[in-house]
């Protein structure tokens, strides 16, 4: 794949002033739409997906499906001012079960495809994420789930891929005819991808599957509701126990469009940014009920937030950030708890409010690479261990000469360093921004519309 042209953001800091104001419209949730694209493999005939964000990950997964023989096209739906972009996917022409290693290697979420493909075609090969060495850990819940459904998963060391077949496995628990067998699975760890992937695999299995200790993220509910509308027999989604009555191999019929829910992580990102930098901000086309953990923390801290049916408004936000109470003890947690994806963003916010804060990252080890960049700007943060940091605020952020550029280490850390730069004094350069583009659609356009001085340059 041609290497993406290196681009960077050049940002003029607002020196702690709340100069931004205006409205941002939230896009469809990347982490829902990606799963709906994977679920298209369960259908006999073309499906139409609405409100899909045009981010890099969506394009990558579309490329993976095209390489497998599917037709994936953007189309115009509706008329005139109601014209909308629809993503149409027709998997009837799929002619391969080998998921492209290079493309899949750039986006972990591609593992979600293995469930529907294994269920439909009886076999799938998938590159071991991050090479063979750590290949077992990040998808162990998927592989053990498939084994329990009667599949055989073999790691081909030479090719560095997992070869998974839904035929009779060593224990003989398979259906022996290329179908997955319904069974009971208890997830030893709550996993968003594990829950939705095995739920989708179970839709075409023979018999009933009961998944226990499931993730309850709204993105899972959003995709499941679409599958149910098209005839899948799924109950309990959004609770820890999901039951799926398999169709025994019969594909679903695309009787309904899929509509992506608003992105709660994009919503939370702008809410936290608004608290720090905006006098007045309206976030529209969002689901306030999906970001209650963020709203409640910021409201308690003293941020003037109003909730509407599909809007969140910050108004008359003139108090200094140092007047906001800190969050003494914050733990990331599976939904509906505080989302790990907003951990870097809330930490950047906490450097600007008064007090000491302990942040415990329960989901991922060492999701703190961005801390070094915040410290380069003057933040007072101590990394206690790979899962815990302490923040002391407020500290003014400024660009120290010779301290070099800021780096986007992952999608959400990228947003955090952009927000930190906007809070600081001076001119900042953020590199590696293709990672930000994976999860935020035209971020610089949204920020510029609020009055920020940010531009994208080729480096
Ligand atoms: C989803 O990733 C999201 N990505 C992530 O968002 C999000 O951080 C994560 O859920 C947690 O909310 C997508 O939906 C595309 P998990 P997922 O399986 O499904 C471990 C973003 O920025 N685990 O819930 O991959 C895993 O290592 C991204 O949009 C295993 O050990 O997350 C992690 O520690 C970042 N074995 C924990 O479980 C497995 O087989 C939770 O991961 C699977 C997961």
The answer to whether position 1 is within a domain reads no
| Choice from 142, 363, 441 to test ligand 1 binding pocket (greatest atom count within 8 A of CB) | 363
Q: State the pLDDT at residue 128.
A: 75
Active-site positions? 132
Distance from C-alpha of 359 to C-alpha of 414, rounded to nearest angstrom: 19
Q: State the pLDDT at residue 167.
A: 76
Residues 332 and 404 in one domain: yes
Starting at the edge strand found earlier in the chain, the sheet holding 355-360 runs: 329-331, 355-360, 388-393, 380-385
Residues forming beta bridges with residue 60, ordered by sequence position: none
Ligand 1 mean position, distance from CA 387 (Å): 16
Shortest-distance atom of ligand 1 to CA 192: 24
Angle at 332 between CA 326 and CA 334, to 5 degrees: 145
Residue range of the domain that includes 376: 7-27+262-458
Q: Which residues, given as ranges, of the chain have pLDDT below 70? A: 1-5, 129-137, 168-176
What secondary structure letter does DSSP report for 40? G
Residue nearest to atom 35 of ligand 1 (CA): 341
* Of 146, 145, 100, 142, residue with least CA distance to 122: 146
Starting at the edge strand found earlier in the chain, the sheet holding 161-165 runs: 123-127, 161-165, 152-156
CATH number assigned to the domain comprising residue 283: 3.65.10.10
Residue nearest to atom 8 of ligand 1 (CA): 341
Residues 444 and 353 in one domain: yes
Ligand 1 mean position, distance from CA 355 (Å): 31
Residue nearest to atom 5 of ligand 1 (CA): 341
Residues 412 and 426 in one domain: yes
Q: State the pLDDT at residue 137.
A: 54
Both tokens of residue 79?
């008329």
Residues 288 and 212 in one domain: no
What secondary structure letter does DSSP report for 341? G
Distance from C-alpha of 85 to C-alpha of 74, rounded to nearest angstrom: 6
Which residues are near ligand 1 (CB < 6 Å)? 31, 34, 108-109, 137-142, 189, 191-194, 215, 340-341, 363-364, 411-412, 439
Q: Which of 212, 230, 259 is the last residue of a domain?
A: 259
What secondary structure letter does DSSP report for 378? T
Residues 247 and 180 in one domain: yes
In the chain, the number of structural domains is 2
Shortest-distance atom of ligand 1 to CA 143: 40
The answer to whether position 2 is within a domain reads no
Q: Which of 259, 292, 320 is the last residue of a domain?
A: 259
Shortest-distance atom of ligand 1 to CA 189: 38
Ligand 1 mean position, distance from CA 139 (Å): 10
Residues 155 and 177 in one domain: yes
Q: State the pLDDT at residue 159.
A: 84
Residues 370 and 406 in one domain: yes
Ligand 1 mean position, distance from CA 437 (Å): 19
């Amino acid at each position: 794949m041609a290497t993406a042209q290196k681009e960077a953001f050049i940002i003029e800091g607002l020196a702690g002033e709340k100069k931004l104001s205006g409205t941002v419209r939230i896009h469809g949730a990347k982490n829902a739409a990606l799963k709906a694209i994977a679920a298209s493999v369960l259908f006999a005939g073309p499906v139409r997906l609405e409100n899909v964000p045009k981010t890099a990950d969506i394009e990558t997964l579309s490329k993976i499906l095209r390489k497998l023989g599917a037709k994936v096209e953007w189309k115009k739906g509706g008329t005139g001012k109601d014209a909308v972009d629809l993503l149409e996917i027709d998997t009837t022409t799929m002619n391969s079960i080998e998921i492209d290693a290079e493309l899949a290697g750039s986006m972990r979420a591609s593992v979600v495809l293995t469930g529907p493909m294994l269920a439909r075609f009886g076999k799938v090969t998938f590159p071991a994420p991050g090479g063979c060495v750590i290949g077992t850990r990040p998808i162990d819940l998927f592989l053990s789930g498939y084994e329990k459904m009667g599949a055989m998963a073999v790691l081909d060391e030479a090719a560095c891929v997992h070869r998974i077949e839904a035929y009779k496995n060593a224990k003989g628990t398979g259906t022996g005819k290329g179908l997955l067998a319904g069974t009971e699975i208890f997830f030893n760890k709550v996993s968003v991808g594990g829950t939705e992937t095995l739920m989708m695999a179970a839709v075409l299995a023979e018999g009933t599957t009961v998944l226990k200790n499931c993730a309850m993220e709204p993105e899972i509910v959003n995709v499941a509701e679409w599958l149910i509308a098209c005839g899948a027999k799924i109950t309990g989604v959004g609770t820890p126990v999901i039951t799926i009555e398999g169709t025994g191999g019969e594909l679903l019929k695309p009787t309904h469009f899929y509509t992506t829910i608003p992105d709660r992580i994009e919503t939370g990102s702008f809410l936290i940014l608004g608290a720090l930098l905006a006098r007045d901000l309206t976030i529209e086309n969002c689901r306030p009920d999906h970001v209650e953990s963020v709203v409640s923390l910021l409201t308690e801290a003293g941020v003037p937030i109003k909730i509407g049916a599909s809007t969140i408004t910050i108004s008359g936000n003139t108090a200094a950030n140092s007047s906001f109470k800190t969050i003494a003890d914050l733990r990331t947690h599976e939904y509906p708890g505080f989302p790990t994806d907003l951990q870097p963003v809330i930490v950047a916010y906490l450097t600007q409010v008064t007090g000491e804060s302990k942040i415990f990252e329960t989901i991922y080890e060492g999701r703190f690479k961005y801390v070094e960049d915040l410290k380069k700007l003057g933040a007072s943060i101590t990394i206690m261990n790979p899962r815990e940091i302490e923040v002391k605020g407020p500290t003014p952020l400024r660009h120290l000469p010779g301290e070099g550029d800021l780096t986007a280490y992952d999608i959400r850390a990228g947003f955090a360093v952009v927000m930190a730069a906007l809070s600081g004094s001076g001119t900042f350069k953020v590199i590696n921004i293709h990672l930000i583009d994976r999860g935020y659609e035209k971020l610089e356009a949204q920020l510029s519309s609020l009055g920020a001085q940010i531009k994208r340059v080729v480096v």
